[in-house]
Amino acid sequence: MSVRVFLVDDHALFRAGVRAELDTITDAVEVVGEAGSVGEAVAGIAHHKPDVVLLDVHMPDGGGAEVLRQIRTKIPEVTFLALSVSDAAEDVINVIRAGARGYVTKTISSQELVKAVVRVSEGDAVFSPRLAGFVLDAFADRPGAAPISDPELDLLTPRERDVLRLLARGYAYKEIASELFISVKTVETHVSSVLRKTQLSNRYELSRWATDRRLV
Amino acid sequence: MRRRRTGRVVAGVASGLADHLNAPVFWVRAVFAVFAALSGAGIIAYALLWMFVPQSAEAEPETDEDRKEWQQAVGLAALGLGVAVFTGLLSGAASGWVTGPIAVALVGAAVVWREADEAQRRRWKDGAFGTGKKSGVVRAAAGAALVALGVGAFLVSNDSIQNLPSVALAVLATLVGVAVLTVPLWMRLVRDLDAERRARIRTEERAEIAAHLHDSVLQTLALIQKQSESPREVKRLARSQERELRSWLYGREVGDRPTTMSVAIAQTCAEVEDGFAIAVSQVVVGDCDLEDGMFALIQAAKEAMVNAAKHAGVGEVSVYAEIEPDKVTVFVRDRGKGFDPDTVPEDRHGLSGSIRGRMDRHGGQVRLRTAPGEGTEVQLEMPRKTEART
């Protein structure tokens, strides 16, 4: 059964492009609907109940984070994958903390995009190299860092750091697994755990860091 | 805070203040009345707020209670003023001949100021400097006459006070009268200037954005249309334009001499992108100043990127740099052909000279991972000499 996908982006041209690409290259995903604004998106997602929403970070009326806030309380089983041209760490971290299961840039190839969609639909997280870099940076142990209140959430384990580093270097899960002598399943577990920490950690840095680092 | 336009009794100060403080307007008015009774402090406060708080640009919806509220407000104002005058007379701090003229002058000033508010509203309504109506002119003139009368009476009454030369007093009183009368004019001038300055800043900003987009994005789009047969060139143009626009939008410093590691790496990647028409995706974690060995490290990384661009036969190279307190590591990776390091001819200096030699001289290390068909990854590690931790 194919993964049912809903597109949210305020650029009609971009939606049409993604839809055409996804429709032609594979049967693994099926685009069931699209929306160009926060209001349309909330209504459309509630109506179609897709498996995965491809979500633009930047839109009028609050952007992707606003769609996430409105939908996640109503229909928690829908998963979101952020898709954006934005390189601003603030936007990326914000949409992840609002509940997206991953972040990829719009320059991603169609094949990679399909893989990412299938992966989040199976409950995994998708970290582009850039997102991996941002998260590493946000959890970095800098002088003057805020105290750790909950080590379970506020610190990455050395293994998680290793996995993130390899993700940032552009390694695929299989390559990471063989590099670290662990199974692909274990890599997935580490990545999901990093996602959970990024979403739930109350460490003051995470938000402050993202705001400070307006540049790439 | 804005003075209200509807439901006002004198100038909308009390109701505006009530809106601002989220308090019932009755209490605000009552407080003004009480302070007015205390030797006129409320009156001065009211006048100051009238001067400095601009009136609201839009009319608020009318309410049914307006009529009752209005009566109540007039009652309160009369009570406050009455008590103020009465206590003034009783305490003897001001004789009837002083308080009376001042009160007349105050009423005159209020009429003129109110007329100025009306004039401003007409300008908002007409969208231009419309000429005031005749009744407006009459009202303003009447107000001015009242002020003049008050000042005059004050002077006459003070002829008996011998301790000040009457000429100086006359000059002073006239100046005060003129100042009071022209207050609305000055305030309007200041506000209009301010509004104009803001509009000008906005226009300038917009012009600057337009100019920038024209010089960069439009030019590139034109070039892309001309070069449309050459996908390589189109890609190169698009990448370099994207980079330029990003650095402009996100305010990354652009200059000939980078000062931090992350900027230097970004610039180097850009040079390779432009020179070899490939995409270089870079992720940098952490940052530091450009220390001694860092130039060598960046040059070595550039050489590795160039090698990948020339020999790997792929369209993309990934660069990952991590800056840690004690060392900086850079990975340059492609998913291209790869090669067998043992079969590289002796005369090819790229890897041995430009990369290994450079790194060795500055105490760095090079590791190479490659095999035919497996892609290539060059790992560069440079210790940081200074103990200064960023």
- Same domain as B367, residue B277: yes
Inside any domain, residue B285 = yes
Please report whether residue B27 resides in a domain: yes
Residues B27 and B107 in one domain: yes
Examine the domain organization and report whether A100 and A193 are in the same domain.
Answer: no
Partners of A169 on chain B (C-beta within 8 Å) are 283, 318, 320, 331, 333, 377
Q: Within this chain, do residues A154 and A169 fall inside the same structural domain, yes or no?
A: yes
Give the gap in angstroms from C-alpha A87 to the nearest C-alpha of chain B.
Answer: 8
CA distance A114 to A90: 26
How far is the alpha carbon of B374 from chain A, nearest alpha carbon, in Å? 11
Q: Is residue B249 part of a domain?
A: no
| Residue span of the structural domain in which B310 resides | 254-383
Same domain for B44 and B119, yes or no, is: yes
CATH code of the domain covering residue B353:
3.30.565.10
In a domain, B238, yes or no: no
Q: Assign residue A90 the CATH number of its domain.
A: 3.40.50.2300
- Closest by Cβ to B250, choosing from A132, A133, A214: A214
Residues of chain A under the 70 pLDDT cut = 87, 141-149, 203-216
Q: How far is A51 from chain B (nearest CA, A)?
A: 30
What backbone torsions phi and psi does residue B64 show, to the nearest 5 degrees? -70, -30
By the CB < 8 Å criterion, does A168 face chain B? yes
Buried b / exposed e over A60-99, threshold 16 CB at 10 Å, is: eeebbbbbbebbeeeeeebbbbbbbebbbbbbbbbbbbbb
Nearest by Cα to B243 from B206, B279, B284, B275: B279
Q: Which residue of A lies nearest to B325 if distances are taken between CA atoms?
A: A142
Which residue has tokens 């406050």?
A: B80
Helix (H) or strand (E) holding A6: strand A3-8
Alpha-carbon span A204 to A144, nearest angstrom: 11
Chain B contact for A144 (CB, 8 A cutoff) = no
ipTM of the prediction greater than 0.85, yes or no: no
Residues B169 and B262 in one domain: no
**Are residues A130 and A119 part of one domain?**
no
The amino acid occupying position B341 is: P
Distance between CA B7 and CA B61 in Å, rounded? 9
Domain shared by B191 and B267, yes or no: no
Q: How far apart are CA B203 and CA B197, in angstroms?
A: 10
Question: By C-alpha distance, which of A56, A1, A65 is closest to A34?
Answer: A56
Contact between residue A196 and residue A205 where contact means Cβ atoms under 8 Å apart: no
What pLDDT, on the 0 to 100 scale, is given for residue B389?
A: 44
Range of the domain at A153: 126-216
| Single-letter residue type at B85 | V
The pair of structure tokens assigned to B105 is 């002058």
The answer to whether residue B227 is domain-embedded is no
Q: Which of A123, A138, A163 is the last residue of a domain?
A: A123
In chain A, the number of structural domains is 2
Give the minimum alpha-carbon distance from A172 to chain B in angstroms, rounded to a whole number.
Answer: 11
State whether B31 and B142 are in the same domain.
Answer: yes
**Residues of chain A found within 8 Å of residue B387, distances taken between Cβ atoms:** none
- Nearest chain A Cα to B280, which residue? A170
pLDDT, residue A216, reads 36
Asked if A3 and A52 touch (Cβ cutoff 8 Å), the reply is yes
CB pairs under 8 A between A and B: 47
- Both A63 and A137 in a single domain? no
In angstroms, rounded to a whole number, what is the distance separating the alpha carbons of residues A209 and B287? Answer: 13
Quick one: closest CA in A to B282, which residue?
A130
- What residue ranges in chain B does DSSP mark as E strands? 279-285, 316-323, 327-334, 365-370, 376-383
Say whether both A115 and A185 belong to one domain. no
The residue from A123, A140, A173 where one domain ends is A123
Same domain for B84 and B170, yes or no, is yes
Assess whether A192 and A169 both reside in one domain. yes
What sign results for the dihedral spanned by CA atoms B6, B9, B10, B15? negative
From A128, which residue of chain B is nearest by alpha-carbon distance? B283
N residues, chain B:
390
B193 and B263, same structural domain?
Answer: no
Helix (H) or strand (E) holding B136: helix B134-158
Hey, what are B169's tokens? 């007093």
Helix (H) or strand (E) holding B166: helix B166-213
**Which of A123, A158, A190 is the C-terminal boundary of a domain?**
A123
pLDDT of residue B374: 83
Cβ–Cβ < 8 Å for B317, B309 = yes
Number of neighbouring beta carbons within 10 Å of residue B259? 10
Residues A30 and A111 in one domain: yes
Which residue of A107, A143, A214 is in closest CB contact with B389? A143
Optimal mutation site among A169, A209, A212, A214, interface B, most CBs of chain B within 10 A: A169
Return the residue in B285, B288, B377, B381 with the most chain A beta carbons within 10 A, the one to mutate for interface testing: B285
- Which two three-digit tokens encode residue A24? 């032609």
Please give the pLDDT value at position B41: 77
One domain, residues B304 and B366: yes
pLDDT reported for residue B128 = 45
Q: Say what the alpha-carbon torsion angle A6, A131, B245, B206 is, to the nearest 10 degrees.
A: 70
| pLDDT computed for residue B215 by the predictor | 75
Q: Which residues of A touch B322 (CB under 8 A)?
A: 136, 165, 168
- What confidence score (pLDDT) does residue B76 get? 79
Is A174 at the interface with chain B, CB within 8 A? no
Do B193 and B262 sit in the same domain of this protein?
A: no
Does the pTM of the predicted model rise above 0.90? no
Interface residue ranges in chain B relative to chain A, Cβ cutoff 8 Å:
246, 250-252, 266, 279, 281, 283-286, 318, 320, 322, 331, 333, 377, 389
Q: B327 and B194 in one domain? A: no
B178 and B40 in one domain? yes
- The nearest CA of chain B is from the CA of A130 a distance in Å of 6
The DSSP string of A117-170 is HHHHHTT--EE-HHHHHHHHHHT---TTPPPPS-HHHH---HHHHHHHHHHHTT
Which residues in chain B have Cβ-Cβ distances shorter than 8 Å to A168?
283, 285, 320, 322
The CATH number for A173's domain is 1.10.10.10
Residues in chain B, pLDDT under 70 = 7, 39, 57-67, 88-100, 123-135, 155-168, 251-257, 344-350, 352, 386-390
Per the domain annotation, does B197 fall within a domain? yes
Same structural domain for residues A46 and A131?
A: no
Buried b (16+ CB within 10 A) or exposed e, A159-178: ebbbbbbbbbbbbebebbbe
Q: Which of B234, B237, B279, B288 is nearest to B261 (CA)?
A: B288
pLDDT of res. B130: 44
- At residue B163, the pLDDT reads 55
pLDDT at A163: 93
Please tell me the distance in Å from B253's CA to the nearest CA on chain A: 9
Put simply, the answer to whether A169 touches B251 (Cβ < 8 Å) is no
pLDDT confidence of residue B388: 47
Nearest chain A Cα to B321, which residue?
Answer: A169
Q: Which helix (H) or strand (E) holds A5?
A: strand A3-8
Inside any domain, residue B218 = no
The answer to whether residue B209 sits within a structural domain is no
Domain count, chain B: 2
